[in-house]
Copies of this chain bind each other. A is one copy, B any other.
Amino acid sequence: QSSVTVYGRLNLTAERQKTDAGSVTNLTNNSSRIGFKGTEDLGGGLKAFFLIEHGFSPDTGAAASTFWGRESNVGLEGAFGKVRLGNMGPTNAYFTTADYISMHNHDTGTSSDAFYAYPGNAKNMIAYTSPSLSGLVIDAQFGLKEASATKNTVVLTGNYDAGPLHLGGTYLTGPGEAKEFGLRGLYELGAITVGAYYIHNEADVASVTVKRDIYRVSGMYALGASEFHVNVGAAGKAKALGIAADGSSATQYTLGYNYNLSKRTKLYGYYTKVNDGNLGAYGGDFSSIAAGIRHNF
């Protein structure tokens, strides 16, 4: 009778974290979630579908502040592509770049991309995804400003897949003067996968436009049930009024190891380190050594 699928992920790490203020041992949530989704066949190649997804912290049992903030939308799919209404969670610009590249742990937790900045609004969205056009999928998202924001959000992305090669490009313009564009490439070479992105970001800080370039490269080597990961990112200097701020750049690197007990369950560990600039744009230096379990359901 009911065609609802319950799915999700619990992902916890025990971590030794170090900041400028000292060290602490934490149990840390890595974007755990539970969701409900379903599809209805309407005939003639047309489908209706919905998806709602809730984020929570299994270490404490706390729900995310916006309960269905990860995603909540409904739409139609057919030969024309896919139309969705609702809250998309992160924009497709994020999925096309930061999320795509950070393979070692779904870009979650303390080893997630410390520099990716999201200037837009994925709530109150009308979104269109094209069918695959010889490997190219175009995605257009339109976020209504409604009464609270000053400007609508527009997100355009293209994702191109040709065998081992995966390319993506993004353009985003959001509330205020926020703007972002990005390019991403990923290549699968047998047991080795390498990827990289470049993002240019502009945000409005107290009526001044602050510009920044972000770079990240990542690599994975798979050997049986094991995966060896490396992930390195850099945030260039923040530029405002034509001046680049000394001490505002930062770097991050992560070394990770995953042992896949199955497709759904892995044990893993990593070491991540953020070297922040003197200005502390990213909250100061941070490092963590972590071991944990991820279980999909």
Contacts and interface: CB of A to CB of B under 8 A. Distances in A.
Interface of A: 1-8, 10-12, 14, 24-27, 34, 36, 38, 40, 42, 46, 48-50, 52, 56-63, 66-76, 85-87, 89, 123-126, 144, 146-147, 261-262, 264-265, 292-293, 295, 297
A72 B86 contact: no
B4 A75 contact: no
A288 to B, nearest CB: 13
Report the copy number of this chain in the oligomer.
3
A207 to B, nearest CB: 24
B25 A144 contact: yes
Q: Which of A1, A8, A58, A295 has the most CB of B within 10 A?
A: A58
Contacts of A57: 72
A72 B58 contact: yes
14 contacts: A2-B7, A2-B297, A4-B8, A27-B125, A38-B297, A40-B262, A48-B262, A52-B58, A58-B72, A58-B85, A60-B123, A61-B87, A61-B123, A75-B293
B4 A297 contact: yes
Majority-rule SS of A interface residues: strand
Contacts of A62: 66-68
